[in-house]
Amino acid sequence: MELKELLEFIDLEDGRLRSAHENYPDHEKRIMARMIKLSEEVGELSDEVLAFNAMQRKDKQKKHDGNNLPNEIADVLIVTLLLAKAMGVDVEEALKNKIEKINKRY
């Protein structure tokens, strides 16, 4: 998948979320809701990482669906991009600059 296609999905999802959540009409609340949602998704990904490394209680480990890790990684990426959109961050530019900065370290 191309970044352009992903960002088009983010625009679509942003529109759907805005119409579904009329209770967050103001910009500040929308940003805060997305940040909290990102925290929730990071928590779910953490749970998957613990399960992946078999670091959970045995009873919890037994109930774990081993196929959910990719879903949780996708959730974190999508919600991060939704947060970036709400805050007016140009993700393509941010990634380009960050990759350039990381590459200069080596």
* Residues making contact with Mg ion (CB under 5 A): 41, 44, 75
CB atoms < 10 A from the CB of 23, how many? 7
Cβ closest to Mg ion, residue 7 vs residue 38: 38
Q: Output the smallest distance, CB 81 to Mg ion, in A.
A: 14
One-letter identity of residue 73: I
Q: How far is the CB of 79 from Mg ion (least distance, A)?
A: 8
Smaller CB separation from Mg ion, 46 or 61: 46
Cβ distance to Mg ion smaller for residue 42 or 91 = 42
- Minimum distance, C-beta of residue 62 to Mg ion, in the bound complex (Å): 20
DSSP string, 18-80: HHH-TT--SHHHHHHHHHHHHHHHHHHHHHHHHHHTT-S-HHHHHH--TT-HHHHHHHHHHHH
